[in-house]
């Protein structure tokens, strides 16, 4: 079973993470971890802090000579912007007010420092290790921006199109005309001191049927995937696949040809009855506008409950593309957990043997997904 924990604060010395349950013998690509962290912070709409933070990963345990050892993996990412902040007027849309009420604080930064999305750097780093594991079984993940403000892409794109095109865009949008309008939307919001939200889509390709289960609600694959993705700061909604208005349109018809089971469509988004069905997992996430604005927002001073204004702190204008990168890695962690629950083992070699036995038992049904 995969478990992961993070600790640390936005402007504290370091952020740390522990990944437990990863099997031995998995090659860990540190360059892919660095690249993922760079993608999380490099797109248009991020704050000036992103240029300051180097986000160098220190591997403290669980990896030796580039391979996992089976022991818990511990990592640390040091902050460069280290400082003590103090404010007493909670910002609407943040954890400030409910957190202060819960713990009896007056200073909002006793909540905000930990609630900050800065914590997701650790989830991205740990999720990259999970992605390295999944690559051994032909499983790939990718994300792209499908909507910012009122601007949306005009059609669906294939996994390969997304993979090839998204990094040519400063907002990870694969459609040039939509990208241009998205950039204008972000810049207009920034000029006003406002922020803008949208929708990102994350996909997983090469998933075999049978991860998850139908036997109980908390074993359905949506149970953990949904919770993990909704726990990304700013995510307010999730859609798996794309629901049509009529059942006759929504069903993905099944056919067989030369020993293969095929689907005409994938409205289910790769999940049926709490289990993966062998098709691509397709998930859309609705991302709210960042609540930290560069304009006056009414609040109250928690020391005396008199009217005040929320502090104007350095913040992002748009994080939709970043949420996509984070979602890729969070989804990788959850899929790895389900994968190891299904196949067990203490080493990559043992898991692979069990996986190959399962694939063989299914005959040609999923031979297309095999990576021998």
Query: b/e for 99-111, b at 16 or more Cβ within 10 A?
Result: bbeeeebebbbbb
Q: Tell me the C-alpha distance between 70 and 12, whole Å.
A: 30
What residues have CB less than 8 Å from 127, skipping those under 6 apart?
36, 326, 328, 329, 330, 331, 332, 333
**What is the number of structural domains in the chain?**
1
Q: What is the pTM of this model?
A: 0.94
User: Nearest to residue 147, comparing CAs of 194, 120, 181?
Assistant: 181
Q: Give the CATH number for residue 14.
A: 3.60.150.10
Instruction: Give the phi and the psi of residue 160 in degrees, each rounded to 5.
Output: -65, -40
Q: Which residues contact 104 (CB under 8 A, 6 or more apart)?
A: none
Dihedral sign from CA coordinates of 239, 242, 248, 252: negative
* CA–CA gap between residue 262 and residue 50 (Å, rounded): 44
What lies within 8 Å, CB to CB, of 176 at 6+ separation is none
Question: What mean pLDDT is predicted for residues 91-100?
Answer: 97
CA distances 82 to 98, 285, 315, Å, are 25, 31, 16
Handedness of CA 262, 266, 270, 276 (dihedral sign): negative
Query: Residue 299 in 3-state DSSP?
Result: strand
pLDDT for the residue numbered 370 = 42
pLDDT tens readout for residues 17-40: 999 999 999 999 889 999 999 999
Cα distance between the two ends of the chain: 25
- Which structural domain, as residue segments, surrounds residue 155? 3-369
Task: To the nearest 10°, report the CA torsion of 167, 203, 121, 224.
Answer: 170
Average pLDDT for 52-71: 94
User: How does pLDDT run across 160-216, given as a tens digit for each residue?
Assistant: 999 999 999 999 999 999 999 999 999 999 999 999 999 999 999 999 999 999 999
In angstroms, what CA-CA distances link 195 with 45, 125, 171, 248, 289? 9, 27, 15, 40, 5
Distance CA(359)–CA(223), nearest Å, equals 25
Q: What is the pLDDT of residues 209-263, one digit of tens each?
A: 999 999 999 999 999 999 999 999 999 999 999 988 999 999 999 988 777 788 8
* DSSP-derived secondary structure for 59-90: EEESEETTEE-SSPEEEEEE-SS-------SP
pLDDT of residue 299: 97
Q: Identify the band that residue 1 occupies on the pLDDT scale cut at 50, 70 and 90.
A: confident
């Amino acid at each position: 079973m995969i478990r992961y924990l993070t600790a640390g604060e936005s402007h504290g010395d370091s952020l740390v993470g522990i990944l437990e349950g990863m099997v031995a013998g998995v090659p860990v690509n540190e360059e892919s971890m660095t690249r993922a962290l760079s993608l999380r912070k490099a797109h248009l709409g991020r704050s000036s802090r992103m240029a300051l933070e180097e986000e160098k990963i220190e591997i403290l345990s669980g990896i030796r000579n580039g391979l996992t050892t089976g022991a818990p993996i511990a990592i640390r990412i040091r902050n460069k912007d280290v400082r003590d902040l103090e404010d007493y007027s909670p910002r609407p849309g943040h954890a400030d007010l409910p957190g202060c009420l819960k713990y009896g604080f007056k200073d909002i930064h006793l909540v905000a420092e930990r609630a900050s999305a800065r914590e997701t750097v650790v989830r991205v780093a740990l999720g990259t290790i999970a992605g390295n594991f999944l690559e051994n079984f032909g499983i790939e993940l990718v994300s792209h921006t499908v909507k910012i403000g009122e601007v949306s892409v005009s059609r669906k794109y294939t996994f390969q199109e997304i993979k090839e095109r998204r990094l040519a865009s400063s907002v990870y949008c694969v459609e040039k005309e939509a990208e241009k309008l998205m950039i204008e939307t972000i810049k207009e919001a920034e000029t006003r001191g406002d922020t803008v939200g949208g929708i990102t889509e994350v996909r997983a390709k090469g998933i075999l049927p049978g991860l998850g289960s139908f036997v109980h609600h908390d074993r359905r694959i949506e149970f953990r995937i949904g919770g993990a993705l909704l726990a990304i700061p700013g995510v307010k909604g999730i859609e798996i696949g794309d629901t049509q208005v009529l059942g006759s349109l929504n069903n993905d018809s099944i056919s067989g040809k030369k020993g293969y089971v095929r689907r005409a469509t994938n409205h289910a988004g790769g999940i049926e009855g709490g289990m993966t069905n062998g098709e691509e997992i397709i998930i859309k996430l609705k991302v709210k506008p960042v609540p930290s604005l560069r304009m006056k927002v009414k609040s109250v001073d928690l020391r005396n409950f008199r009217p005040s204004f929320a502090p104007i702190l350095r913040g992002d204008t748009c994080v939709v593309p970043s949420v996509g990168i984070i979602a890729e890695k969070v989804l990788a962690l959850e899929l790895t957990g389900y994968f190891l629950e299904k196949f067990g083992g203490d080493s990559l070699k043992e898991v692979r043997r069990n996986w190959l036995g399962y694939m063989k038992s299914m005959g040609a049904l999923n031979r297309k997904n095999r990576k021998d």
